[in-house]
Amino acid sequence: MSEVTIKVQGMSCGGCVGNVTRTLTSLAGVSKAEVSLEQASATVQYDPEQIDPAALRQAVEDAGFRAPQ
């Protein structure tokens, strides 16, 4: 299992945190996601054989948020 912290911009309330958390944890290979509104970030535990940080960022973007590198 690997861990990465990605930037997540554009979250404005706890509902957004829930949306991003659900988006990330629904991905195959993701076991845990800790999303912080204050830090504008998400720390994700994932299986590097199934998914990578670029795909995590793309999923966040597809959910309507910004995930710059």
Positions that interact with ligand 9UX (CB under 6 A): 12-13, 15-16, 19
Rg (alpha carbons) of the chain, rounded to whole number: 11
Of 29 and 37, which CB lies nearer to ligand 9UX in the complex structure?
Answer: 37
Residue, CB closest to ligand 9UX: 15
In angstroms, what is the minimal distance from the CB of 54 to ligand 9UX? 22
CA distances from 33 to 23, 25 (A): 9, 6
Residue 29, amino acid: G
CB nearer to ligand 9UX: pick between 40 and 52: 40
55 near 11, Cβ under 8 Å?
A: no
